[in-house]
Amino acid sequence: MDTVRVFRGSVLLVLVALAIWPAPAAGQVFRDYDWFEPLVAEQRAARIAVNFGGTDAFEFSIEPGRRFVWDIHLGRELPMIAYVAAENPGMFRTGEWGVGLWAPVGFHMIEDFKDASNPIINTDYRFGTMLKFRYALAQERWIQARFVPWAHESTHLGDEFSLTAQQTFPQFERINVSYEYWEYSVGLETPRWSVRHGGLRPWGKDGYYSDHLLEPSGRQIPTSHSNFEPSFGGEYRHPHGDGSWSPFVSAEARHRILYDYRKPSSSTPEERQWSTTLAAGIRTAPASHTPATMALSEIYVRFYHGVNPHGQLRNQRDYTMFGVGFNFRVK
């Protein structure tokens, strides 16, 4: 039995135990906390968001040149169980701490409005498990951490986009980008500032995509090799009163690999490119939301440059997108 299979089984047993074990006196079941929430600039976060803007052409686009797209994200970090060693779970005093389990689930889709009939270019699905930890160094000064022991991402080019590409480009191939991964992130947090570092790596030796095409008699594909991707992020949030809007600036950079489906061998390192997201706009105060409601939380302009983040199109470097975005909070 391989190590990965043993680890997956162990994680499953831990999750089942946490789900059925009686909550301690300071425990909370299915209660959400605002620990280590995603930065606005974070790519593929489990959130509800809509982005509109212009992008470079995708590989195998029919019409050349830049195009107008919308990028939709539907997801949430679902709270499962938490333990809070604090007198007031909503406010940590010096030395108090908390740890909890979430289940992040996300769906991400991008649609092109330039090619005929506005094809869906790509859809991504993500789900997994997530542990979060917060420790108060002082009043409103926290060390926070987030660890994803196991998660799955499955990406799919749109059928209409793929069929048109097959008829137009003889070199088109449909690659199965689907993998399990682990991820960590640590940070220093205040109500105004967040500074973070993280990293992601797939489980197993096959990397980010299958070693063969899914079509009958498909060729073998050298698997990805340089799989670890570090990230750095930061965010500044100007203080505001309850119910008011205030400005913020958010940034994230990831050292992404460029998928290479025709490299000489699986041991050949892929090229990399720093991929940066910048977002700036206005946000509401969390206290302005009542329980069990969804409300607009951020409005911003967004700039991205680097490796194309969409499925098998992650073999495209120097991809740029600029537009506006709207995030929604469910509490």
Name the pTM for this structure.
0.88
Distance CA 323, CA 50 (A): 10
Torsional sign, CA 133, 137, 142, 144:
negative
Which pLDDT does position 10 carry in this prediction?
Answer: 53
CA 244 to chain centroid, in Å, comes to 28
CB atoms within 10 A of CB 118: 14
Structure confidence at residue 1 (pLDDT): 42
Q: What is the pLDDT of residue 288?
A: 44
Give the list of residues 6+ apart from residue 199 with CB closer than 8 angstroms, or none. 183, 184, 185, 228, 229, 230, 231
CA–CA dist 223, 318 (Å, integer): 22
Q: Rounded CA gap, 318 and 238, in Å? A: 32
User: Which CA distances in Å does 196 have to 55, 63, 231?
Assistant: 27, 39, 8
Instruction: Split the chain (331 residues) into runs of 10 and give each run's mean pLDDT.
Output: 53 54 58 92 95 96 94 95 83 90 96 93 96 94 96 95 93 93 97 96 90 79 92 94 84 97 88 98 70 83 98 96 94 70
pLDDT given at position 219: 85
The CA-based diameter of the chain, rounded to the nearest angstrom, is 65
Question: Vertex 278, ends 129 and 125: CA angle to 5°?
Answer: 30
Q: What is the pLDDT of residue 87?
A: 80
- Which pLDDT score is estimated for 22? 46
What's the rounded Cα separation, in Å, for the pair 74 and 179?
20
Let me know: does 174 contact 214? Beta carbons within 8 Å.
Answer: yes
CA atoms within 13 A on the CB side of 123: 12
Dist. CA 279–CA 303, nearest whole Å: 6
Question: 122 pairs with which residues across the strands?
Answer: 110, 157
Cα separations in angstroms, 91 against 189, 230, 266: 14, 31, 50
Tokens (6 digits) for 144? 């926070």
